[in-house]
Structure 1
Amino acid sequence: MIATRSRLFWGSVLLLASVAPARAQDRVPFEAQVRTFADAHCVSCHGPDVQRGELRLDTLPLKLTDPGAAATWVKVFDRVARGEMPPKSKERPPEKDTQALLAGLQTRLHDASRDRQQVDGRVALRRLNRTEYETTLRDLLGSNVEVKDLLPDDNVAAGFDNVSAVLDVSSAHLLRYQDAAEKALRTVIPTRPRAEFKERRTGRQVTEKVAGLKDLLGKVVRLDGDTLVMHVRPWGHVPCATAPAPQAGRYRVRASVFVVGTGGKPLPVMLSCRDQYGRDDADVRAVRDVPAGAPTVIEGEFDLTTRQVIVFTGWSLPETPRTLALSKDPLDKYPGPGLAVEWVEIEGPIGAWPGAGYENLFGGVPLKPTSVAKLIAAGRPEPPQPAKRNPDSYIYDPLTPAPARPREEADRLVRAFLPRAFRRPVSKDLADYYVKTVHAALAQKVPFADAMLLGYKTALCSPHFLFLTEPTDARAKNPRLDDYAVASRLSYFLWSTAPDAELFKLAGEGALTKPAVLRTQVERMLNDPRAARFTANFAGQWLDLRNINATSPDPQLYGEFDDFLFWSMPRETQLFFEEILKNDLSLTNFVHSDWTVLNQRLAHHYGIADVAGGEFRKVKLAPGSHRGGVLTQAAVLKVTADGTRTSPVLRGKWVLDKIVGLPPAPPPQDIPSIEPDIRGATTIRQQLDKHRNTPACASCHKHIDPPGFALETFDVIGGWREFYRGTRGTSVELVNYPGRKIFRGLDVEKGGETPAGKPFKDVDDYKLVLLADKDQLARNLAQKLVVYATGADVQFADREVIEHLVAKAREKNYAFRSLIHEVVQSRVFLNK
């Protein structure tokens, strides 16, 4: 189905350049040619009497310099090229007439689009989105402050939230940017002198620190000497945590642990961050596998704010006492699994003091203590005083930068900061403006730290920081970006942040845009830990992983869903993406692979044996597993369902948009959505059959429904199923969860037939349909990379670039990392 559809379309497009006659040799003026074709084959549906799809062609101007008219003609071109117009129910025009029309339109649309790009560029002035603003502040200031949630949500276009056309700026943005910048800047000044903190607690001491934990002793937790042994996961209490961090910073956390009752298998332990003994949702920082046998020391380094703790939890343990099948024997005789903790330790803050953030903003300026009274007199709020009942509390005098010559230091620091913040050299006049802002505050007796932060905040709320300015190289005939603009475009593409020192240096030397240098830098950046942001922000939006929290599975229907499975779902897809990227594997792996990346919890969910532990590893899939590729991964299957039911329409649209790159048109406004039959009297296929008998729906549903039904054998949390779950009736045991029963509903309706008449029986067959057109898979991914990399949707003149990228991908067996290199070397990336 997809292969036939895309080959028809792109085959026509690629043929046009070779058959398009020179305009000087046209026997009939092109406008007259278009009008004759439209009158004969189009105006009966798109003319004065009927305007299907609100489109009227007999009066649509052929002045393609008008963006609105050009956009409409692009839609006409695409539908004619795909064979969708005129509809098959109408008499088909002669093939030579169709090809002549397409050839002429293609030439003129391309020329008009290219002319606009030469004058205005492809990308409008682009604002940093919320994510980019936060990561840029973090890297610029050397602080892990979270400010994204302070900013308004960003609009989305072409599947991404970094497209310049929809990144508007409102008064709300300007106010929130000030709050965010203020919050971030305040974090760089230490609140207390350098102090080493190290505290070790035995398991027995942990029980004394946690309110209510003693009541659980002998029931679900026990003490073996000074060792705490836990047989359940926490449910409202924090049974094992470090001492709270005394101040914000990076801490080294260690614990001596071992497992019991696992039959020699490792036990996955979650290390999560919470406020001191809080009951809020855990922020999972790491997972470690604790082997059976002798005690093992597990450790990690974590960024914590004041009063935060690291919690140790055995993730494969039962959740509550009710699920712990204790015998009448004492708890120390219980044969089930448990996590034993000899001691936990926290040490820090580690690293240089006063920290990278302070050095970036106040490098060379000494810190001196100041009294709280002075700060209050200056209008600053008094730091919160710790509660007397908390033995871990302390009272301190805040610190403040204290230069010997404030005006001179302000001048030096501001001029050093601005090029880093504005991502390019700064003119003297512009730098003078910000220096004068600080000097004016100092003249009014504002404390040095506050005056400096005022200047920095002004810079961080200015257009020079908020927008990616992209001037072109005056020496180039084409609108080619200068090296600093390329450095920013490259850095925000792969790292979602400002260029680092090496990119900045190469830009200053005018060497960055050399092809060999660009290739070297892309390799360096993809091998850097910051490339995890590319996974989070590109793959997170391409595959909708950001929406993993949007729905919660109904606990009455999906009682096997737990937080361990929930955490594991997106990690599989992220690590799968990174494995393909790291090893330059074929992008066809996104459709199907004979491997995936699993841990114990996901493997159990999928019914895959011999995977123990919570850490992820690459796993070979056996034939018949129905897994492989992203389509069958639990995270994707969850984000394409509503938490209670699956919809072939939603999943079908997702496949066409995200994987195939031929998304269906939005449904007509007067067509109601399908309401599920809660009585179970009709099947989903029967409901859709009735729905798509409507002529306005049939043209889209013939493409949407096949991939939707191919995925119908997966439930809302990605489990394989042969039948739907009900709320009453006959109960059966879940295959992968012995002892857990559900009610059996109707058999799942799977399989179907493509619009081309090719039958498929399940998702395995349907993957073969997709893999029959590898060019279209590459074309889709190339388009999405171009949109995300440049911040602009694909325009008509860009199509020749996309086809060049597809051809290069084909030469290299569709290698994904190589495709990224080709995108960076392309004119759409290097031009404005």
Structure 2
Amino acid sequence: MGHGIRVMMHVSPAQFRAYLWQGHDRGAIAEGGKGIRHLAVAAMALVLVLLAYLFPVGGSDAPSPAMLAKAPHPLIGKYCMSCHDSVEKTAGLAFDEMSLANPSKAPELWEATVRRLSSGMMPPAGEPRPSKAEARELIQAITSSLDGAKPLPAPAVLRRLTRSEYGNVIRDLLGLNVDVTTLLPPDPSTKGFDNIGEILTTSPALVQGYLNAGMRISRLAVGDPTMASARRAFPVPQKLDNSRYIAGLPLGTRGGVRLNVLFPVEGDYEVEVRAGPGITLFRKYGGGKMPNVDLTVAGKAFPVDSKGKARVHVRAGEFPVTVALRDVDLEPGVDEIYATFNVKGTIMDVAVNGPFNVKGVGKTATRSKIFSCYPRKPMEERACARSIVARLAGKAFRRPVAEQSADMDLLMRYYDQGRGRGNFETGVQQALAYVLVDPRFLYRVEQEPAGAAPGSVYPVSPIEFASRLSFFLWSSIPDGALMASAVSGKLTQPAELERQVRRMIADKRADAFVDNFAGQWLNLRQLASAERESKDFDDNLRFAMERETKLLFANVLRGDRPAVELLNADYTFVNERLARHYGIKGVQGDYFRRIALPPSNPRRGLLGHASILTVTSVANRTSPVIRGAWVLENILGVPPSPPPPGVETNLDASVKTPQTLRERLAQHRENPACASCHNMMDPIGLTMENFDQTGKWRTHDGPFPINASGTLVDGTALRDSADLNRALLKYSDAFVANLTSKLMTYALGRPVNAHEMPAVREVMRRSKSQGNGLISIIMGVVESQPFLTRTNAARPLGPPSRSTRTEESQAEKKRKAA
């Protein structure tokens, strides 16, 4: 009974009622005497609890000696067992059923414990907390035990190229920039990334997309003079501000866009521009005279007729096309929510039709990459074609392909088919089309050594390692220097590997790492679809927000700056549009420049960036809950649980009288099912309330003054977002651990499991001795066991498909039933 009183001191009334009926039949009340006995027990317990409150005994909350004896560590018994024992089992965690002597029996629970302790999220608010020294001691004890266990990497999953990777590979293989969004469907994402192999399924529609893309790209690359005319549309962002000059466009113009357009053959093309006099905030087209349109193709100006069309003759190649507005008469105007701009004009979209009157294929950069030789006589054609196709196939398949091999014999059959229907170039185009739909191109295939036992761990080959490295940092294939290093065997040498990694990060192709890793980790991709009820929010600002954050990440990356600089950087990057949004004066022009931020400036670090503040809001207001959850998941690595079923999550649903957002959240936390997570999220998000739903600074929310104070779970009092930044720096180890885990997940293309967390901590230990520079963390990842090795699957791996996954699920059900 004494143990029951102790439990009551730490749980809610609802939990206490559940505890009273624990192990009993709730229908026993209807059974007469048995029910009376249960009521008597309950009444006695209630009397004892009341006595405990009325006459408290010092140290009644202290764990009993029996509990301490069952604890896997004395500090766990002291601070954790009152909630996490086999009686309470809060969050499914019972430490008295776990052992640090054999942590491999419950590694996921131990790793979750480390994350909660490292981020300061446990013990919960109001409970006794370990000192900093005690927390370090407990974390060290748990991680030492975990790191001593035998690692068990997860089997690799066969991965196909993502849509983004496909476009980058085509660019680096053929020198051809294609808009893959018009060719292939978007990829799903899980664990924050879209390159996770287990969800990259292959549907019949995707297979058809690959077939169509292969044929189209091969014809564009080679240059087919017989290709039919086609229309290519280039949509323009609908909220683009066309009232100002945009850098990179002709002087004297305003608004507009700059496009890089491929003209596959020399001939005539028709450029069609759809423009209008202007639109209101509600995007309704207004009436009025067609604005003057300024069009240039490859640096040459062309007149646009009254229908918005211009006929141009262009040689083959990729050239810039600029479309902008040029005013004849300027009129003053207003910019209100219901008004139409008096500064008239907007570019709505651009299209290119053609080719017409083809003159030839010309000499393009793409053809130069393809035709490394060209036959002068018919008898030289096949040997030249074999050389061309073998070289392209080797790059596409990410492994050498010998000219005299069975693989080449198959590819040359397709050359022969194309040559029979046309000429030498037609044959090469046909063979290239097959290369682009070959599974060795579309999938990142890694060979298992002969005789490898199921579950065995073995190193990947140097060539496969080079492919892993290039897709990690470039989202594309290895270049010649990296492949040569791999073939020679030097790539696995530490000095050579570091030289290659630093070279690759300095290369412009590493922009893909910034776009794909940082863009997904920080949720920047959500900006593209974000809509905000604010007249300050337009596509120029949307672009500037995203650009600022990517420039900060790229600066920390390429400068090998400490990773925590992402949280407290005393500088940022702005153009005129973003500086105006931030209230920063003296910045003019569209180009981004680095500016210093004084200590009092709230824009220091990621949490002051409008991009982060916008994607963590909703259309008509801020969301402290989303912002708090974003910090927990992306900074500290402790994502909150989803809301329980049936819980109302709409804070606006029950508002009858004007209330501050803080008051509505306080009412929400009165629900015990919500309080446990919201007590962690809400104080973090509330400190950022001075930023509105577009990240603009404010002191009032409507008629209510902003109160940005809060108290973290660890008891730290916060006055504003600056205090939050300083508080998060105390948990910089948790931030680095989360960043390292995210990097490894992205690099491996699969979630990091609990058995691989020792490898993450080894990366952290190495990088800490080097100042936690971002490159040193990346070096640790590429030199880690999970990145260097592969685990042989228990069954052969094949391209994942929806039907395969369904069959596996049915087989699993049959196995369990048996």
TM-score where L is the length of structure 2: 0.67
| Equivalence for 1:322 | 333
Query: What amino acid does structure 2 have at the position aligned with 1:607?
Result: G
From 593, 597, 602, give the equivalent of 1:621.
597
Quote the offset at 1:674 in angstroms.
2.7
- Secondary structure at the aligned position of 1:322 is classed as coil
Residue matched to 1:572: 548
Matched, 1:747 2:735: no
Alignment of 1:625-774 (within 5 A): 625-676=601-652, 681-724=658-701, 744-774=702-732
Cα deviation for residue 100 of structure 1 reads 13
Question: What is the CA-CA distance between 1:529 and the residue it aligns to?
Answer: 1.5
Give the match's secondary structure for 2:678: helix
Pick the aligned partner of 1:311 from 305, 323, 329.
323
Equivalent residue of 2:458, what SS?
Answer: coil
Measured in 2, the distance between the counterparts of 1:599 and 1:318 equals 28
Which letter maps to 1:166? Answer: I
d(CA) in 2 for partners of 1:520, 1:245: 36
Give 2:208's aligned residue.
175
Q: Tell me which amino acid in the other structure corresponds to 2:195.
A: N
**Contact 1:177–1:461 under 8 Å retained in 2:** yes
Deviations 1:704-743 (A, max 9, x none): 112211211101111001112xxxxxxxxxxxxxxxxxxx
Kept in 1, the 8 Å contact 2:622–2:693? The answer is yes
CA offsets 1:667-695 (integer angstroms, 9 cap, x no match): 22232213326656222222222222323
Q: 1:760 to 1:81 in 2, by over 3 A?
A: closer
Change (3 A) 1:745 1:551: farther
Tell me the CA shift for residue 830 of structure 1.
2.1
Between the aligned partners of 1:305 and 1:72, the Cα distance in structure 2 is 58
Q: 1:418 touches 1:431 (CA, 8 Å); kept in 2?
A: no
Corresponding residue for residue 550 of structure 1:
529
Shift of 1:803: 1.9
User: Which of residues 374, 380, 383 is equivalent to 1:365?
Assistant: 374
Paired residue for 2:493?
A: 514
Contact 1:486–1:830 (CA<8 Å) still a contact in 2?
A: yes
Residue type at the aligned position of 1:411: R
Aligned mates of 2:421, 2:316 — CA distance in 1: 35
Compared CA separation, residues 670 and 109, structure 1 to 2 (3 A): farther
How many residue pairs get aligned? The number is 640
1:813 Cα offset (Å) = 2.9
The superposition leaves residues 441-497 of structure 1 with CA deviations (integer Å, 9 ceiling, x where unpaired) of 258646654544343233222221122223478999962221111111111111111
CA contact (8 A) 1:154 1:167 kept: yes
Aligned partner (choices 741, 752, 755) of residue 797 of structure 1: 755
Q: Does the CA contact (< 8 Å) of 1:144 and 1:303 recur in 2?
A: no
Structure-1 separation of matches of 2:428 and 2:642: 52
Letter in 1 for 2:628: G
**Which residue pairs with 2:514 in the alignment?**
535
Task: Check whether the contact 1:403–1:409 (CA below 8 A) recurs between aligned residues.
Answer: no
Q: Is the 8 A contact 1:130 1:153 kept in 2?
A: yes
Say which SS state the counterpart of residue 663 (structure 2) adopts.
Answer: helix
SS of equivalent residue, structure 1 residue 805: helix
Question: How far is 1:107 from its partner?
Answer: 8.4
Q: 1:781 to 1:443 in 2, by over 3 A?
A: closer
Counterparts of 2:657 and 2:265, CA distance in 1: 56
* Counterpart residue type for residue 368 of structure 2: E
Amino acid at match of 2:788: L
Distance 1:748 1:473 in 2: 63
**C-alpha distance after superposition, 1:593-651 (max 9, x if no partner):** 22111122222211122222222111111342211111111111111122321100111
1:498 to 470, 473, 477: 477
Alignment partner, residue 151 of structure 1: 184
Q: Which runs of 5+ in 1 are unaligned?
A: 1-31, 194-219, 222-226, 251-273, 283-298, 326-333, 337-351, 368-401, 725-743
Q: Indicate yes or no: 2:460 matched with 1:485.
A: no
* Structure 2 residue identity aligned to 1:542: W
Tell me which residue corresponds to 1:561: 537
Inter-CA distance 570–248: structure 2 relative to 1 (3 Å threshold): farther
Q: Any conservation in 2 of the 1:275–1:309 contact (CA below 8 Å)?
A: no
In the superposition, relative to structure 1, how do residues 304 and 684 fare at CA in structure 2: closer, same or farther (>3 Å)? farther
Alpha-carbon distance, 1:767 to partner: 0.6
Equivalent position to 1:125, from 146, 158, 172: 158
Equivalent position amino acid for 1:669 in 2: P
CA displacement, residues 188-225 of structure 1 (integer Å, 9 cap, x when unaligned)? 123569xxxxxxxxxxxxxxxxxxxxxxxxxx99xxxx
Aligned-pair identity in percent equals 32
- Written as runs of structure 1 = structure 2, the 5 A alignment for 1:388-403 is none
Q: CA–CA distance in 2 between the matches of 1:281 and 1:790?
A: 51
Q: What displacement does 1:809 show?
A: 3.1
Distance in 2 (alpha carbons) for counterparts of 1:586 and 1:310: 40
Q: Could you say what secondary structure the match of 1:587 adopts? A: coil
* Match 1:609 to one of 562, 585, 595: 585
Are the structure 2 counterparts of residues 91 and 563 from structure 1 closer, same or farther at C-alpha, using a change threshold of 3 Å? closer
What's 1:267 paired with? Answer: none
Per the alignment, residue 214 of structure 1 pairs with: none
User: Of the candidates 417, 424, 437, which is equivalent to residue 399 of structure 2?
Assistant: 424
Which residue of the partner structure matches residue 184 of structure 1?
217
CA distance in 2, matches of 1:314, 1:715: 35
CA contact 1:590–1:629 (8 Å) conserved in 2: yes
1:588 to 561, 564, 568: 564
The equivalent of 1:822 in structure 2 is 780
- Provide the secondary structure at the position in 2 that maps to 1:664: coil
Q: Tell me if the contact between 2:210 and 2:437 (Cα under 8 Å) persists in the aligned partners.
A: yes
* Aligned pairs (5 A) from 1:206-217: none
Contact (CA 8 Å) 1:185, 1:453: kept in 2 or not? yes
1:212-261 CA distances to partner (integer Å, 9 max, x unpaired)?
xxxxxxxx99xxxxx9956xx45xxx6x999x9793599xxxxxxxxxxx
Return the alpha-carbon distance in structure 2 between the equivalents of residues 228 and 44 of structure 1: 69
Query: Within 2, Cα distance between the matches of 1:670 and 1:56?
Result: 27
**SS of aligned partner of 1:187:** helix
Query: 1:113·1:796 contact (CA, 8 Å) conserved in 2?
Result: no
Q: Please, what is the CA RMSD of the aligned residues?
A: 5.1
Query: What residue is the counterpart of 1:278 in the other structure?
Result: 274
CA distance in 1: counterparts of 2:422 and 2:81, whole angstroms: 72
2:502 to 523, 541, 546: 523
The answer (yes or no) to whether the contact 1:414–1:431 under 8 Å persists in 2 is no
> How far apart are 1:779 and its partner, in Å?
1.5
| Residues 296-321 of structure 1, C-alpha deviations (whole Å, 9 max, x = no match) | xxx99999988973135699x99986
Q: How far, CA to CA, are the matches of 2:126 and 2:612 in structure 1?
A: 37
Per the alignment, residue 358 of structure 2 pairs with: none
Q: Can you list the C-alpha shifts for 1:12-60, whole angstroms capped at 9, x where unaligned?
A: xxxxxxxxxxxxxxxxxxxx999xx99xx9999998x999768999999
Distance 1:355 1:658 in 2: 44
**Which residue is equivalent to 1:390?**
none
Partner Cα separation in structure 2 for residue 602 and residue 92 of structure 1: 43
| Change in CA separation of 1:771 and 1:187 when aligned onto 2, cut-off 3 Å | same
Q: What's the offset of the Cα at 1:818?
A: 2.7
Amino acid at match of 1:364: C
Asked if 1 retains the 8 angstrom alpha-carbon contact of 2:173 and 2:392, the reply is: no
1:70-89, Cα deviation, whole Å (9 max, x unpaired): 65776588679989899899
Kept in 1, the 8 Å contact 2:171–2:178? The answer is yes
**CA separation of 1:100/1:721 partners in 2, compared to 1, >3 Å: closer, same or farther?**
closer
